[in-house]
Structures are given as structure tokens and as C-alpha cells.
């Protein structure tokens, strides 16, 4: 009877057994290394120790470059640490920090949480107009100051300085310092940085918060309010539409309702168009200025929404405005304006306007005046006299 026996395999089998053993040892070694790595979890996979919120706040305020400060702010945003927001708020409100206040505001804008928005609104509410950039005019001429400012790393500083330079190009030498001073005030106001940061958050909560700036325009000042309006337009939140319509309908608010109309023209919907149309031509509080702003808003809404009534009323305002300035247009002698001037005469014309057309020396306007007079039941007669502006006499 044969019995089974186990014997060592040949040379190939022995090699296979040795290789299998080697793999087993490698697997065991990998497991040991992995366990050791987990126990030493104080370091990240990249080998860099994780930074605390306090360290990130310090980096956001004092980092050696804009990129370092921005990355710190982004890490704070991801962490959601409200203690960091409070620390940045305190820094933004600390008058002894100088440029550190601007960096705190920028970091809050990157974080963009509701708490960060509240902190930025607190900065906006400050009324001391603290100069956080130093006296840029000390660099030399106003133009040199703005040229230096436009090289700054911050987008708001650059864009503001570039706009200032554009405005300064046409300024007379005697007025240069005055104009430059106004722009420097705007550039140096910490509240303007805060408005810019609020726009960068892109949050609806920020848009709703900015409504209070528009409503309290007298306290905020023209520059801050203008930037707040631009920020709301940039955010583009439709959730503030009803609040802005309410501001527009409150006739006790002289400037805020006009600012509200401007914003509604950019971000509003059909409700905005209906609200503006309901008040158009019915405002006895500085009507011409109100109509100008509302007409511009209606034109934008009409184009965006396809609202023909809004577009029609905006065009009607153009005709009305032309009827108020016809003497200037006659003196300018711009041929391209003639169709609008004739349409304006037919829509809002007067006897004085028709006589000015009749006697300006332009055949097309003279013909239009005769047709208007006939339609209105007037008879055209001639007598000695003058005093009428000639076509193109002001060029």
C-alpha cells in the first residue's frame, strides 16, 4: 500500500516559497510604519504642522506678502473659527494698527461669514474717517502720488487711483491739489475698504446689510454710499428688491430713494419696473432730477426685461429733456440730434421752442416748426426783430 509523502520541491518551488516569505515581511513592515504615522499625527501628510487660528490671524495681518496674507485668510474661512473673526474685527477697529486695519478688513472680506459681514458693517459705521494710508501727497505731485498708489497690490487701491488719475488729466493746474485731495480722502477712508470687502463676500446677508447704508445716506456720506450702491449691484442679490422699492417709495428720503432707483435699474425685476413706472412723472420733489435717475433705471430694466412700457417712458424722458435744452442743441449744431429735436418738439413742444426752430437757419427744423404750428392751430407770420440763436452759432 502506498502512503503519501511531502517532500521539498525542486529549485523553482524553493524560489517561490522564498519570494512569498519576502512579501509577507514587506506587508508587516508597511503596517508597522502606518501605525507609527498615525500615532505621530501632529504633522500633516505634507510634513507641515497645522497652524492654529491665532497663528493664521497673525499671518493675515502681518504676513510678508499679499499671497501669504490671502492664503491665511482662506484657511480661516475654511476653519469657520468665529474667534478669528472677532480677533480680526478688533484689529480693524484698532486705530493704532495703521495698515493692519486694512489687512484685517480684507481678511474679513475673504472669510465672508455673517459674523465677518457684521464686523465689516461696524467698520462702515465708523465716522472718524481715519487715514490709514498716510499722506500720499507727500510723495511729491498729486500725479506721482496716484501713480505710486496705482501700483499697490490691492485691487480697490489700484482702481480708485486709476479713476483719480483719469479725472486729474482734465483738471487745471490751480485745481489739481483740490481734486487730488478729494480723491485722497476717498482712497484713505477705511470705510471704503470695508465696503469693497463686503462686495467681495458676494453674500446676500451683506447685500441686505448694505441697505442700511443706503437708507442712512446722510450719515454715511456720498462716497461711501456710492460705493455701497456699486457693491450691491456687484452682489446682485434679488432678495433686497422689496427693501429698495420701499426706500424708493418713501418720499421723505430725498437722496436714498434716488440711490435705490439706480440700484433697482441694475438688479431689479418686473416689480421694480412697475414701482418706478407708478411714480414716474408724478414726483413733485425736484422732479427733473428724479426723472433723470428713474428714466435711466427704466431704460436698463426695459432692455433687460423686455418691458416696452419701461423703454417707452425712458424715451419719453429723453424727449422731455431735449425740450428743456433745445437752445443748447441749436447752438451746438449737431446734425445727429435733429431727429430727436423734432420728435421732442412734437411731444413736449411750446410756442417758444417752435419759434427758435423756425428762426435758427436749419431747413429741417424750420420745416418741423411750420408743421407743428399748423397742427397746433398757429399761423406763421414774419416781423422785424431777432434775438434767436443760429444753428451752430456756439461752435
Q: pLDDT band for 28, please (50, 70, 90 cuts).
A: very low
Q: What is the pLDDT of residue 292?
A: 83
Q: How far apart are CA 104 and CA 92, in angstroms?
A: 5
Place of cell 416696452: 308
Q: What is the pLDDT of residue 71?
A: 94
Q: Are 247 and 288 in contact (CB under 8 A)?
A: no
Grid cell of 375 as nine digits: 397742427
Q: pLDDT band for 241, please (50, 70, 90 cuts).
A: very high
**Whole-Å CA distances, 171 to 53, 148, 158, 165, 389:** 49, 19, 20, 10, 30
Q: How far apart are CA 237 and CA 217, in angstroms?
A: 20
Q: What is the pLDDT of residue 136?
A: 44
Q: Give me the residue spans of the domains in the chain.
A: 136-188, 237-324, 328-395
Q: pLDDT band for 133, please (50, 70, 90 cuts).
A: very low
390 or 41, higher pLDDT: 390
390 or 3, higher pLDDT: 390
Grid cell of 361 as nine digits: 437757419
Q: What is the pLDDT of residue 368?
A: 95
**Per-residue pLDDT tens digits for 212-225:** 999 998 888 777 88
CA nearest to 258, candidates 307, 208, 311, 297: 297
- The average pLDDT across 277-302 equals 79
Mention every residue, 6+ apart, whose C-beta is less than 8 A from residue 364: 338, 342
**Per-residue pLDDT tens digits for 137-188:** 444 555 666 666 666 666 666 666 676 666 666 665 556 566 666 555 665 6
Q: Could you give the dihedral angle defined by the CA atoms of residues 216, 221, 226 and 230, in that order, rounded to the nearest 10 degrees?
A: -60
Q: Give percent of the chain above pLDDT 90.
A: 44
CB atoms inside a 10 Å sphere around CB 167: 14
Widest Cα–Cα separation across the chain: 153
- The average pLDDT across 356-360 equals 93
Q: How far apart are CA 298 and CA 261, in angstroms?
A: 9
87 or 313, higher pLDDT: 87
Q: Give percent of the chain above pLDDT 70.
A: 70
- The average pLDDT across 98-127 equals 90
- The average pLDDT across 125-142 equals 53
Which residues are bridge partners to 43 per DSSP? 49
Amino acid at each position: 500500500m502506498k502512503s503519501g509523502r511531502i517532500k521539498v520541491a525542486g529549485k523553482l518551488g524553493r524560489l517561490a516559497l522564498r519570494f512569498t516569505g519576502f512579501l509577507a515581511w514587506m506587508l508587516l513592515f508597511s503596517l508597522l510604519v502606518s501605525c507609527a504615522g498615525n500615532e505621530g499625527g501632529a504633522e500633516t501628510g505634507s510634513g507641515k504642522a497645522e497652524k492654529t487660528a491665532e497663528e493664521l490671524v497673525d499671518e493675515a495681518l502681518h504676513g510678508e506678502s499679499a499671497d501669504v496674507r490671502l492664503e491665511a485668510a482662506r484657511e480661516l474661512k475654511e476653519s469657520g473659527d468665529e474667534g478669528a473673526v472677532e480677533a480680526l474685527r478688533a484689529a480693524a477697529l484698532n486705530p493704532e494698527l495703521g495698515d493692519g486695519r486694512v489687512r484685517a478688513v480684507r481678511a474679513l472680506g475673504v472669510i465672508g461669514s455673517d459674523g465677518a459681514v457684521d464686523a465689516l458693517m461696524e467698520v462702515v459705521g465708523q465716522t472718524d474717517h481715519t487715514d490709514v494710508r498716510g499722506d500720499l501727497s507727500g510723495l511729491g505731485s498729486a500725479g506721482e502720488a496716484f501713480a505710486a498708489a496705482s501700483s499697490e497690490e490691492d485691487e480697490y487701491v489700484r482702481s480708485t487711483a486709476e479713476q483719480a488719475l483719469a479725472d486729474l488729466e482734465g483738471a487745471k493746474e490751480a485745481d489739481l491739489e483740490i481734486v487730488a485731495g478729494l480723491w485722497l480722502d476717498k482712497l484713505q477712508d477705511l470705510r471704503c475698504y470695508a465696503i469693497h470687502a463686503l462686495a467681495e463676500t458676494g453674500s446676500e446677508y451683506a447685500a441686505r446689510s448694505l441697505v442700511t447704508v443706503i437708507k442712512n445716506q446722510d450719515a454715511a456720506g456720498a462716497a461711501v454710499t456710492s460705493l455701497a450702491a456699486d457693491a450691491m449691484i456687484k452682489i446682485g442679490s434679488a432678495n433686497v428688491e422689496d427693501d429698495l422699492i420701499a426706500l424708493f417709495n418713501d418720499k421723505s428720503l430725498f437722496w436714498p430713494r434716488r440711490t435705490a432707483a439706480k440700484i433697482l435699474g441694475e438688479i431689479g425685476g418686473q416689480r421694480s419696473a412697475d414701482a418706478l413706472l407708478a411714480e414716474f412723472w408724478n414726483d413733485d420733489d425736484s422732479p427733473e432730477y428724479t426723472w433723470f435717475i428713474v428714466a435711466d433705471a427704466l431704460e436698463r430694466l426695459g432692455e433687460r426685461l423686455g418691458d416696452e412700457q419701461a423703454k417707452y417712458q425712458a424715451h419719453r424722458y429723453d424727449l422731455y429733456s431735449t425740450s428743456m435744452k433745445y437752445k443748447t442743441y441749436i447752438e451746438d449744431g449737431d446734425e445727429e440730434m435733429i431727429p430727436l429735436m423734432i420728435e421732442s418738439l412734437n411731444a413736449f413742444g411750446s410756442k417758444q421752442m417752435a419759434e427758435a426752430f423756425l428762426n435758427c437757419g436749419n431747413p429741417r427744423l424750420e420745416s418741423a416748426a411750420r408743421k407743428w404750428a399748423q397742427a397746433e392751430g398757429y399761423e406763421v407770420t414774419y416781423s422785424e426783430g431777432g434775438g434767436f440763436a443760429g444753428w451752430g452759432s456756439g461752435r
